[in-house]
Amino acid sequence: MTGFIIALISGALMSIQGVFNTGVTKQTSMWVSTGWVQLTAFLTCLILWYFSGRENITGLFDVQPKYLLIGGVLGAFITYTVVRSMGTLGPAKAALIIVISQIIVAYAIELFGLFGVEKVGFEWKKLIGAVVAIIGIMIFN
C-alpha cells in the first residue's frame, strides 16, 4: 500500500512540477528553466543527504554498468520534454500521453529484460490495457 501511495504522490508532484516549470520557461527560457530545476534539485539532494546519514558518495565510482549514471542527463531532457509538451498540449493531455508512454516503455523494459531488469513473460492483458489507455487518450482529445 505504501508504494501505491508514493506513486500517487509522485504523479501529482510531476504534474504540478510540469506546470511550474512551464510557467518559469515562459518568463525566462527553456534551458534557464531546466537548469534552475536541475540546480535546485541538486541543492535539495545535498541538504537531504547532509541530514539523513551522509552515505559515502565515492560509491558512485563503483556503479556498474556506467550507463546507469546518466540519470541526471535524462532528467534534464525529461524536464525539457515535459515543459514543451505541457506548453503545447496543456497539462492534462500532456500528462495522459506521458503516463501512457511511461507504461509502454516500462513494460517493454520488463518484457525484454533491458538495463538489468528481471525479464517477465508477455501478457495479453497488459497489451490490451495499453491499447485501452491509448484509446482513452483519443477519446480525451
Rg of the chain on CA atoms, in Å: 18
Quick one: cell of 7? 506513486
Quick one: cell of 97? 500521453
pLDDT tens-digit profile, the chain (141 residues): 899 899 889 999 999 999 999 999 999 999 999 999 999 999 999 999 999 988 899 999 999 999 999 999 999 999 999 999 999 999 999 999 999 999 999 999 999 999 999 999 999 999 999 899 889 888 987
- Helix, strand or coil, per DSSP, at residue 122: coil
Residues 55 and 52: their CA atoms lie apart, in Å, by 8
CA angle 27/24/105 to nearest 5° reads 135
Q: What are phi and psi of 119, to 5 degrees?
A: -75, 140
